[in-house]
Amino acid sequence: MRESGAITATILQLLKKSVKAGMTTKDLDIIAEREAKSLGAKPAFKGYNGFPGSVCISINDQIVHGIPGKRIIENGDIVSFDFGVIVGGFYSDSAITVPVGEVSALAQNLIAATEGSLMAGIARAHAGARLGDVSSAVQNYAENLGFSVIREYTGHGVGRDLHEDPLVPNFGVAGRGLELKNGMTLAIEPMLATGTWKTKVGADHWLVSTLDGGLSAHFEHTICVRNGEAEILTKINE
């Protein structure tokens, strides 16, 4: 899991460094796929339920599951990369949202709030805590800053499969839900929006966007509960 997580983190860092106005989302998908191959890892999403890309790339009002293609990235876009690999049979899953060029103050605040809400959730993911403690920490952090949390898509267990039990919602009530124990591996992944948390699915049956066209950002880490605390397995070492 640790090796898988490190490769996922390395490739997300490469995508963050590589993304520039004028590139297509397919260009970035090719970079990620090539790097995964050279590191001996298999992209986890390619072919998953028929998904055609290696990376989910979602721009501005797009939340998740964007298929890489001909869309050209522009100055001022915020670009979410959701990526994972399989190494030795173990999955890891992580996401970041990156500003391209000059983005609005609202977009900057949204990105910071989304990453902050992820870290707030991870801070509560210790042995003995309940899933609701994690969910409510994410929700409170986001809503206190004036953003909404997407409710129709959630985090999840991860390990031998990309998506395992339990679901890890980004909203909830502290003290409720499954008790976290040492050895559990979870993908915690808040998606925040500037407007409504309601979503719509595109004509390709994959792309999820905000219903009102508001901006959305997405951060995700694969964590392991170990020695009582959350260890981030997909941490980007800058």
Among 44, 73, 187, 188, binds Mg ion (CB under 5 A): 187
Count, residues in the chain = 238
Task: Determine the residue type at 131.
Answer: L
Q: Tell me the number of residues near Mg ion by CB under 5 A.
A: 6
Nearest to Mg ion of 75, 79 (CB atom)? 79
Question: Minimum CB separation from Mg ion for residue 102, in Å?
Answer: 27
Distance separating alpha carbons of residues 61 and 162, to the nearest angstrom: 25
- Residue closer to Mg ion by CB (options 31, 223) is 223
Q: Which is nearer to Mg ion, 163 or 226 (CB)?
A: 163
Cβ proximity to Mg ion: between 42 and 213 the closer is 42
CB 59 within 8 A of CB 77: yes
Site track 219-238 with Mg ion (rule: CB under 5 A), x = hit:
-x------------------
* Cβ proximity to Mg ion, 2 vs 76, nearer residue: 2
Does 82 contact Mg ion by CB under 5 A?
Answer: yes
Pick from 29, 33, 77, 93: which binds Mg ion (CB under 5 A)?
93
Binding residues for Mg ion, rule: CB under 5 A, are 82, 93, 95, 187, 189, 220
